[in-house]
Structure 1
Amino acid sequence: MLEDLRALVEIESPSRDLDALAASAEAVATVIENRLGGQAVLIVNEGGTHVHWVAGGEPRVLILGHHDTVFPLGTLARRPFAVADGRATGPGVFDMLGGLVQAVHGLAALEDRSGVEILVTADEEVGSFSSRALIEERARACGAVLVFEGAADGGALKTARKGCGAFQVSIAGRASHAGLEPEAGVNALVEAARQVLDIAAFSRPELGTTVTPTVASAGTLENVVPAEATVVVDVRVESAEEKERVEAAFAALTPHVDGAQITVEGSIGRPPMPESAAAELYSLAQKLMPDIEARAVGGGSDGNFTAALGVPTLDGLGAVGGGAHADHEYVVVDAMAERARLAAGLVKALQDAPRA
């Protein structure tokens, strides 16, 4: 597994870099074919190169993951793959190349792989816009989804996720000289500041809803009244009702500064993943690993899409470790074999279970 993990990490795969993603997809396909046989199909579209492998037989279980990472090209030179003190490190080891390797090696331990599909997408980190339809199609066909995103703290599985999305609020004002005639301008920065306060008030922490302005930009020079400004907002919700409320609140934003105009783009693109979607599969996991725990987490994954369809979905089956999206990202090496065995056990249980 460490050999295959190294092979994947050492081909960098930043989201939206189509050439890098094509090379990474080839590496993922090679690992799958070397360990499982058959042929992995490369699916190229505007989001990158996705990898799809099918064992054959009636579809029963979808192994779901992604090979794109958040790190820019050149990160590997600064932070190369390494194994030391019981940890594997390098860009993407935890989110989520380690999980992909564990899933493949778990399947390799099974003599019968019939009914199993693997789908590894190239745009999960940037919203899965090009892969969502394919994910949903294969989830419906298979009837059960195992997501190999990194585990929650302590190796826990992820049985619920918040819905998440982003909004961009663009403000159009009018430039003028800040010293000679500031009153002739329409200050987009002042309007943006007012909007930030309004938007932050959309949060309902008691309901699990967070609305967090994260990026803002405005202005050109210190002596020019800003004519344009933008505010980017991260949103997380636990329920469909809160999704509707927050989206309606963004749509209803109105200007405070005379003459300013507001445009809102975005949505809560990943619906919430309710605990009910994971209940059946988590029960199977507990039979295989009685001490394994469950967590509800704030981050989203492609499991949000499949759970929203009503397809049983269990997430967090990937690597035990931490530091996703950070320089200290790591995988606990000693846990890799155990997680691969868990993957094998879950697939076998789903193969043997009567199809609903």
Structure 2
Amino acid sequence: MKTLIAAACALLATTALAAPKPDAALLKAATAEAPAITATLKSLVEIETGTGDAEGMASMGRYLESAFTARAGTVTRMQPTGGVAGEIIVARWKGTGKGKLLLIAHMDTVYQRGALARAPFKLMDSPQGPLAYGPGISDDKSGIATILHTLPLLTAKDYAELTVAINTDEERGSLGSGTTITELAKGMTAVLSFEPTSMPERLTRGTSATNTVIVTVKGKASHAGGAPEAGINSLVEAAHIIQTTKDLDRGQGNRRFNWTVVEQQRGVRNIIPDDVTLIGDLRTSNLAQFDQFKAELLDRLKTPSIPGAVVSAEVRMNRPPFTATPASNALIDEARAIYATLGKELLVMERGGGGTDAGYAALAGVPVIESLGLPGFGAHTTQAEYVFLEAVPRRLYLAASLIRKLGR
């Protein structure tokens, strides 16, 4: 019995000695750098950058150019296509390492100007540690801040080329910047995407394609009180369409579809409406899901419920999905191993319902890892959006460790 106990103790001791340990110097540097991120988050949040806000994008562009230049980066501005407000800020560094890396994040948020006045930046304590609140602080100003404070942890030997790209229209599908992201990703050793994560922290093996569904209903106008029977009510037909297509949403983890906007060109109380447009949000993980949805929708719409109504539909593919390749999964495994050295578990989600620029980066045929921003909560909900500041040291350590691993 004593022999067995001694053997077990020896095995435990050997295991403990063999357990991987973090890079002490890098962890110390990341921990020392972490407090500075709070002021950066405040500065970023207090520049309002709702998608399409030209003034806000210009202010953020100047802020980022100054921040990257102060960190010895060479900054260029790239114009998105399609009249998108704001310029893509691209910063580059040359090093003596072997790997070429692209780091991506976005400066635009879902909040329109005025959201900051209703929900200003603030710090609060919680049982999980200090929280920082503000519109867009999680999605994706935490990603920008993580990149900015990872840069001081790196040296020239950690990469051959390091490129950072911050775009301005991610929240609307990156239709003006997606092609640029793909081009920048070509030839890279890997792309690191700094979208936020959740708590507990996790990575994702896939994000959804973001697609737009547009259905127009043409009816016939008539006096709503004097002769409603002479009209063809496009609004009633639109309501019927909403009711008969709501089951096209297949639930969490599957194809997602929701009607989100109703538009009328001439909305007048006493006129039977003759023109209504429905706009819906469709999330798919592959082309087959997209094609199947389109076929099902067109089948539901082929016979209007009101005689004389004319219904037409368009299903438009916007941002492509991201699905981790074996090389991307290897990056996930590496990230999890890095966290294990810190005594932390990094979870993995198979596929999220959101769409991200990882989809555009993956079109370049290079490994991509997603969700390297800060853990947070409440994205797209003004009053509740926050990030967990206690996680900052390990997030900086994770990002710097991955860059070193890939770049040296």
Question: What TM-score results when the alignment is normalised by the length of structure 1?
Answer: 0.91
Q: Using the alignment, how far apart are the partners of 1:181 and 1:280 within structure 2?
A: 68
Q: Using the alignment, how far apart are the partners of 2:252 and 2:121 within structure 1?
A: 41
Paired residues of 1:199 and 1:211 also in contact (CA < 8 A):
no
Q: Using the alignment, how far apart are the partners of 2:252 and 2:206 within structure 1?
A: 17
Paired residues of 1:14 and 1:68 also in contact (CA < 8 A):
yes
Match of 1:336 in 2: 392
Paired residues of 2:187 and 2:366 also in contact (CA < 8 A):
no
Q: Using the alignment, how far apart are the partners of 2:253 and 2:363 within structure 1?
A: 19
Q: Using the alignment, how far apart are the partners of 1:247 and 1:348 within structure 2?
A: 45
CA RMSD of aligned residues (A): 2.1
Match of 1:81 in 2: 121
Q: Using the alignment, how far apart are the partners of 2:48 and 2:314 within structure 1?
A: 31
SS at match of 2:232: coil
Match of 1:26 in 2: 62
SS at match of 1:167: strand
Q: Using the alignment, how far apart are the partners of 2:253 and 2:132 within structure 1?
A: 37
Match of 1:49 in 2: 87
| 2:59 is aligned with 1:10 | no
SS at match of 1:166: strand
Q: Give the total of aligned pairs.
A: 351
**Comparing 38-47 with 82-91, which one deviates more in the overlay?**
38-47
Match of 1:114 in 2: 160
Match of 1:40 in 2: 75
| 2:238 is aligned with 1:192 | yes
SS at match of 1:341: helix
Q: Using the alignment, how far apart are the partners of 1:9 and 1:125 within structure 2?
A: 16
**Comparing 119-128 with 329-338, which one deviates more in the overlay?**
329-338
Match of 2:347 in 1: 293
Q: Note the C-alpha offset of 1:106.
A: 1.4
Q: Note the C-alpha offset of 1:59.
A: 6.5
Q: Note the C-alpha offset of 1:18.
A: 1.4
Gaps of 5+ in 1: none
Amino acid at match of 2:348: A
Match of 1:314 in 2: 369
Paired residues of 1:320 and 1:335 also in contact (CA < 8 A):
yes
Question: What TM-score results when the alignment is normalised by the length of structure 2?
Answer: 0.80
| 2:268 is aligned with 1:210 | no
CA 1:339 to 1:206, structure 2 compared with 1: closer, same or farther past 3 Å?
closer
CA 1:141 to 1:309, structure 2 compared with 1: closer, same or farther past 3 Å?
closer
Q: Using the alignment, how far apart are the partners of 1:12 and 1:323 within structure 2?
A: 18
| 2:310 is aligned with 1:261 | yes
Q: Note the C-alpha offset of 1:56.
A: 2.6
CA 1:203 to 1:79, structure 2 compared with 1: closer, same or farther past 3 Å?
closer
SS at match of 2:260: strand
Q: Using the alignment, how far apart are the partners of 1:251 and 1:315 within structure 2?
A: 34
Match of 1:283 in 2: 333
| 2:344 is aligned with 1:303 | no
Q: Using the alignment, how far apart are the partners of 1:250 and 1:14 within structure 2?
A: 32
| 2:117 is aligned with 1:62 | no
Q: Using the alignment, how far apart are the partners of 2:364 and 2:295 within structure 1?
A: 23
Paired residues of 1:199 and 1:213 also in contact (CA < 8 A):
no
Paired residues of 1:240 and 1:271 also in contact (CA < 8 A):
no
Q: Using the alignment, how far apart are the partners of 2:191 and 2:197 within structure 1?
A: 16
Question: Whose radius of gyration is greater, 1 or 2?
Answer: 2
Amino acid at match of 1:38: G
CA 1:205 to 1:309, structure 2 compared with 1: closer, same or farther past 3 Å?
farther
SS at match of 1:116: strand
Q: Using the alignment, how far apart are the partners of 2:219 and 2:99 within structure 1?
A: 55
SS at match of 1:134: helix
**Comparing 305-314 with 324-333, which one deviates more in the overlay?**
305-314
SS at match of 2:94: coil
Q: Note the C-alpha offset of 1:261.
A: 2.1
Amino acid at match of 2:91: W
SS at match of 1:97: helix
Paired residues of 1:41 and 1:53 also in contact (CA < 8 A):
yes
